[in-house]
Amino acid sequence: MALNAQQKRFADEYVIDYNATQAAIRAGYSPKTAYSMGNKLLKKGEVLARIRENQIAIRERLCLSADRIVAEYLKTYEKCSGGYDPDYRNALHALDMLGKHLGMFDPEGANTAPITLEVHYGYGNKNNNKPAV
């Protein structure tokens, strides 16, 4: 079944902030029913397909690829964990996001391909104070 205009608008609004309730309100659904309507719409295959199309369009517009995302995560990790005043909180966040992106924390075990990430530290060595990834 084809999407109506309001469902299309919901899918278009959803990719702005990934808040189903707010997307439903912006799409013209009643604020009183927006929460349940948002959840209901996210279960419709046609709506999910439209959301996926929007995500692909955004990714292409921004010239983003999975490889670039991984590279940026690694650069962020290196920047945050290296130097004399490391920011471990953000370094761990970058590793967490990288792990999620690579499917390393899949509770269903669907991603069983081995992934190796080596990190080498040079503690106390002024010439090697950044991790090599």
What's the domain range around 123?
66-128
Picking from 105, 72, 78, the residue whose alpha carbon sits closest to that of residue 91 is 78
What CA–CA distance (Å, rounded) separates 95 from 99? 6
CATH code, 14:
1.10.10.1400
Looking at the 3D structure of the chain, how many domains does it have?
Answer: 2
Confirm whether 90 is domain-assigned.
yes
- Same domain flag for 72 and 39: no
Give the mean model confidence (pLDDT) for residues 104-130: 55
**129, pLDDT greater than 60:** no
Residue 4's pLDDT is 95
Q: What is the pLDDT of residues 43-69, one digit of tens each?
A: 999 999 999 999 888 888 888 777 888
Q: Outline where the chain has alpha helix (H).
A: 5-17, 20-26, 34-41, 45-61, 66-81, 88-101
Structure tokens at 97: 């996001």
